[in-house]
Every structure is written in C-alpha cells, then in structure tokens.
Amino acid sequence: MLDIECAGAEVEETIKRIQSQKGVQGIIIVNAEGIPIKSTLDNSSTVQYAGNVHQLLMKARGMVRDIDPQNDLTFLRVRSKKNEIMIAPDKDYFLIVIQNPTE
C-alpha cells in the first residue's frame, strides 16, 4: 500500500509537487473498493481516512444525484479547525489531500 510504483513520470512529479507544497500533510489515492493504493501517510491514518472518506463520498454523491440525477460530484472539501481535506472523486478512484495551509 505504501509502495510507490513507477506510474508515469509526469504524474509522479505532480504528486511530488503537491506533497512539497506548504502545509500538505498527506496524499492518499484510494481505488474504487475503498482500498488505499498509494499514500504518503502511515498505515493506520491512511486506512482511517480511506474508510471514512469513502462513506462521506457516497453520501455526498448520493445527495447531489438525488437532487438531479444528471449531476455528479466533482470535488469535495472539508474544512476543519486543524486542516482541510480535499477529495477528488471518480468512478475508479478517489484522491485525498490533507493540508493545513496555515502551518
């Protein structure tokens, strides 16, 4: 899960760039089943994030599509006291970035 596989230099670079931005605490890529496939955090946090975000995404997507079935969720941001969790969902995966911009 924590193996960083070689998957396209450009993509890798972008991930590294995001990781190096100010205040970014971690990046997690989760596949469609909710299994984290790539992460820069430790195992337990990753699993926690992946599981909880998965549920939240389902709810959020369900809500958006309930109101208009042709609509779909494209981005979700959860701002908390300590940090901000940004989620980019997709059919096959979702990308989670945790950042504390005021660090």
In angstroms, the CA 46 to CA 61 distance is 22
Among 45, 51, 60, 78, binds other proteins (CB under 8 A): 51
In angstroms, the CA 51 to CA 58 distance is 11
Interface residues toward other proteins, by CB under 8 A: 1, 5, 7-8, 10-11, 14-15, 17-18, 21-24, 29, 31-35, 37-38, 47, 50-51, 54, 58, 62, 65-67, 69-70, 75, 77, 81-82, 84, 86, 88, 90, 92-93, 95, 97, 99, 101-102
